[in-house]
Structure 1
Amino acid sequence: SQFGVPNKYYHWKGFSRYEHSVGVMLLLRKLGTSLEEQLAGLLHDVSTLAFSHVADWVFAEGTKGKESYHDQIHESFIKRTEVPKLLEKYGFSLERILQQNNFTLLEQEVPELCADRIDYSARQWKDYLSNQEITFCLGSLTNFNGEIVFLDKNAAFKFAHTFLMLQTEFWGGEEAVKRYYLFFQTLKRALKIKILKRKDFFKDEKYVMKIISQCEDAEIIKSLKMLSKKSVPNLETKKSSKIFKKFRYIDPKVLENGKLLRLSRLMPKFGKIINEHRRINKVGVKI
């Protein structure tokens, strides 16, 4: 699952990393990139473990807002698969495709637009924007000298503002953080009592969930029962510490009269909106 926590235990219907990766590839194709970059897009998340960023909490520093464990193992993971032989067969260089900085539209540092951010956020727009607004935003995107930019500042604002709303109300919201934490504790417990091994996270989520759901451990049963509720109860105790989710935002560039300008420069109010959402994210969630 792209969201990490399985649909059964999450408050928002998710989508798979496979769907996301295909979407990124198709978006790159629409923007006129090379077949090589489209392949890089299709493969960019292939090293993601079961439960996506929840695995960052288990094996890395996800609770500190760092969610990039799959990037650290991307190269070594791909080299253990059949992908290198397939690429070689069709005349593509694995080393070039592994170096994502070769592809300027696939992924970029914050606050730039990139195909990755566009796809995973656009899949959730239906809860915030009308079909007409979605068409307006996507129709304003263009590839300008190897950068994804907007042709209309109003489309850029609608996109970027919706992205921030998703960050604060969903990706970094209290309900999401509590569910991440509970499921993270469930997985840690499963590893501790040895019903799961690290290698199991390289298998599909159904395989792992079957093991967990059949477990008779009282702590795991309690956590899954809480996750099954419509709203997770308050988890704060005297020993509570703060959990911080990664702060995601974009400040896209807009092409106006042949010049590229940041949205926050064209609309100073948007810069203030970013700062307010950043402030909210820095507060964290006590658990």
Structure 2
Amino acid sequence: MKQTAGLILGLLVLLLAQPVRAAAVHATDGPFAHWAAVVVAGDWHAHSGGPTEAFDNARRDVSRALADLGFSPGAIRQYSVRPRRYPAVKPGKTDLRRIHAGLRDLAVRNPAGCLFYVSSHGAPEGVQVDDGLLPPHLLAAMIDDACPARPSIVVVSACFSGVFVRPLRKDDRMILTAARSDRTSFGCSEDDKYPYFDDCFLSSAPTARDFAALGRAVQACVARRERDTGAEPASEPQLWIGPSLRPLLPLYAFPPRPAPPGVH
């Protein structure tokens, strides 16, 4: 028991000391400086069938937000169904094989952890990725293959995305979804800038201390937004944090950021 307690204390000391040592070398280093991140826009259609920029707006601005939270811009890879529409960013094509290969390539060069974020439509069978569905068991296999033996954070912004929680559970993983497994989410019309969930992620990130606090803030924000707009039944975003990762997440603290000028 004493040996185990000593080992845990030693790991905590190392984690706490790591950002301090890194800061002396490079001001932008931090707990997420060597994490791989993939951000995917899975569709470009509104629920009406017409075009919408909501998912690509989320893809673009979540990537920027991750950089503000301490992820290296060079370790964030974006994917869009219509990549040629965004020449300034040059996202990859939303394709499961390319996304898997991209995450695996980034993870080799950034071995500290992995983040996967997708914004799209969803169904009880999975999340839409271009013309197909990405089912929970396949996403779990992709992340397990690309990011073994390291902490990971998975964010699924889609209707019915709670179906991803149980298949993706691991001791060192956090999962945040836009809805329960039997509920829709909101905000993917032709006129929406972002889906409600992505809007709340972006507006909550600047004041959150870490990903656990960010997940709780997003849940509260979505609930408020749905009450204010009369969207029902409530989507009830889901947050699950593995037992090994839970006590360590406060040590993966976000760097200080300027106060946001306002919410979206």
Same fold (TM over 0.5): no
Task: Give the structure with the larger helix fraction.
Answer: 1
The structure showing larger relative contact order (alpha-carbon pairs under 8 Å, at least 6 residues apart) is 1
